[in-house]
Amino acid sequence: MAFKKNQTVTVEITDLTDLGFGVGRVDGAVIFVSDTVPGDLIEAKIIKVNNTYLVGRAEKNIRVSEQRVTDRCPERACKSCAYKNISYSDEATLKEEGVRRLFSSSALAGISTAPITVSPNATRYRNKAQYPVTLAGGEYRVGFFAPKSHRVTPVTDCPLTPSIFSEICAELCGFFKEHSISVYNEESGEGLLRHIYLRRGEVSGEVLLTVVINGESLKNEDELAKRITERFPSVVGVLINVNRESTNVVLGDVYRTIWGRDHIFDTLAGVRLKITAPSFYQVNHASAELLYAKAKELAKPQKSDTLLDLFCGAGSIGLSMADSVGELIGIEIVESAVECAKENAAKCGIENAHFFTGDATETERLLANAERQLGRKITPDIVILDPPRAGCDERLVRFVSTLNAKRIVYISCNPKTLARDVVLFRDLGYDTDTVYPFDLFPMTGHVESVVCLTRRLDN
In three-state secondary structure terms, 364 is: helix
User: Degrees (nearest 5) of the Cα angle 134, 123, 95?
Assistant: 100
Query: Coil, strand or helix: which one is 346?
Result: helix
Report the half-sphere exposure of 190 (CA within 13 A, side-chain side).
2
Name the residue among 89, 88, 23, 97 with its Cα closest to residue 53.
23
**125 contact partners, CB below 8 Å, separation of at least 6:** 119, 160, 283, 284, 285, 286, 287, 442
Those residues whose C-beta lies under 8 Å from the C-beta of residue 349, and which sit 6 or more positions away, are none
Local structure of 297: helix, strand or coil: helix
What number of other Cβ atoms are within 10 A of residue 246's Cβ? 9
CA angle 96, 307, 340 (to 5 degrees): 90
Of 136, 120, 26, the residue nearest 77 (C-alpha): 136
The DSSP secondary-structure symbol of 116 reads P
**413 flagged as catalytic:** yes
226 DSSP 8-state letter: H
Catalytic residue among 173, 312, 413, 452: 413
Burial class of 264 by CB neighbour count within 10 A (0 to 12, 13 to 18, 19+): buried
H/E stretch holding 98: helix 88-102
Q: Using alpha carbons, select from 389, 411, 421 the residue that is nearest to residue 108.
A: 421
Is there a contact between 289 and 267 (Cβ–Cβ < 8 Å)?
A: no
Inter-residue contact 272 to 281 (CB < 8 Å)? no
Catalytic residues: 413
